[in-house]
Amino acid sequence: MSCCHHYELIDGKEHVFAVDPSAIRFGPGALAEIGHDARALGLKRVALFTDRGVAGLECVATVSAALRAADVDVAVFDEVRVEPTDASFKAATRFAAEGGFDGYVSVGGGSVIDTCKAANLYATYPAEFLTYVNAPIGDGRPVPGPLKPHIACPTTSGTGSECTGMAIFDLLERHVKTGIAHRALRPTLALIDPDVTRTLPANVVAASGFDVLSHALESYTAKPYTQRSAPDGPALRPMYQGANPWSDVGCVEALRRTGAYLVRAVRDAGDTEARHGMMYAATLAGIAFGNSGVHLPHGMAYSVAGLIRGYHPDGYPGDEAICPHGISVIVDAPSVFRLTAPTSPARHLQAAALLGGDVAGAGQEDAGEALAGSIIAMMRDTGMPNGITDLGYGEGDIAALAEGAYAQQRILANSPLPVNEDDLQNLYRGAASYW
């Protein structure tokens, strides 16, 4: 059986995988149930994190009203920065620390949920900012204990942040994206109401949808957990444990749904089946990569987003240079999967087919091209940038991009094959343009 072969047990290597569960309620109307959940968690006064773009939407009003109806006091912080920074995390932490809260609610995209995780962390266990940030950029110290309850309510069908223990931000002085990763950051409960995607701009659905697609692809093709060295004890088992049989289930279904629904959801905001389908795909992919981890496309995306200048897509607030996370990921993906296909050709071919590609007659040697082709076809159908050239990068930027990606060692360790800085430079060259 292919799964057994993929996870062959090897002496001295890891034999055990962990399933860290996410508590989830999914469906139209889920947000209105938050009062019950807050009371069940014993909350009396919560900080509600959102951003200015979301603050005026019906979903925030629904959540606030449901909390107040349950006699839960609510203080709103709507200054979350889209694509947060260390400075914006610190501002959110000040609000959290000064408000006397016994719990947290986040209503927004990945930026909002990640900011809420960080504010909860630093308000609960104050420390120098770099203490918990991933090594080697930060100290990578583990979170000392449980955080206060956090109910996450995603408003985009993308990041899966409501299911993960990660919080991503730009470290301004280093011009690099990095993050904090620990199981304790995983929200206590995710309330996922797919109706919130009804009003999302097409470009936001596209960018966040490609993030979903790449979460699933990267989790499915990551280094199998059985190829990682056995940890010295269960406490040292990394959250990014590699591909495993639990995550595979979510990956396959997330890919199938993304193949069926992403283009439809972008093209027609009224296509409820497609928009709901993408929301569930995002949830499944979030559960999957929250238990396995991502690899090269996400590692490369950090510097693509961190070094961006002069690019600002439609549908995003403000006018400063910004590269939405999903775009920074997907522009790298075809180049990566052309390289990684020989490590698990059957999985790459299966993924190409799940995304709608025609793989009839394709052999193992065709797997990379088939999967790249499926992704590129979807990028073209949804108006994505044609590789990093369209984002403003040229040959003169390749070394800096690769240097930034090489700093993401925690993510690169999950790659199905080892890469050095020269390899990363070649991957960026392969991502220059696709059509």
Residues that bind Fe ion (CB under 5 A): 211
Distance from C-alpha of 262 to C-alpha of 94, rounded to nearest angstrom = 38
Cβ 159 to Fe ion, closest distance in Å? 6
Q: Which residues, listed in sequence order, are joined to residue 24 by a DSSP beta bridge?
A: 190
DSSP SS3 for 82: coil
Longest dimension (CA), the chain: 63
Residue closest to Fe ion, measured at CB: 211
Residue with tokens 């979170």: 143
Report which secondary-structure segment, H or E, holds 420.
none
Q: What tokens does 345 get?
A: 């050709």
In whole angstroms, the minimum distance from the beta carbon of 285 to Fe ion comes to 9
**CB-wise, 37 or 211, nearer to Fe ion?**
211
Least gap, CB of 2 to Fe ion (angstroms): 27
Backbone torsion region of residue 86, taken as left when φ is above 0, otherwise alpha when ψ lies between -120 and 50, otherwise beta: alpha
CB nearer Fe ion, residue 86 or residue 211 = 211
| Cβ contacts of 213 within 8 Å, gap of 6 or more | 254, 255, 258, 262, 285, 330, 333, 355, 375, 378
For the bound state, the minimum distance from the C-beta of residue 290 to Fe ion, rounded and expressed in Å, comes to: 11
Query: In angstroms, what is the minimal distance from the CB of 236 to Fe ion?
Result: 25
Choice between 286 and 430, CB closer to Fe ion: 286
Instruction: Give the shortest CB-211-to-Fe ion separation in angstroms.
Output: 4
Nearer to Fe ion, 242 or 345 (CB): 242
DSSP structure string for 91-115? HHHHHHHHTT-SEEEEEESHHHHHH
Count of helices and strands (H, E) across the chain = 17, 8
Report the alpha-carbon distance of residue 42 to residue 148 in Å, rounded.
Answer: 11
Closest CB to Fe ion among 51 and 211?
211
- Shorter beta-carbon distance to Fe ion: residue 193 or 211: 211
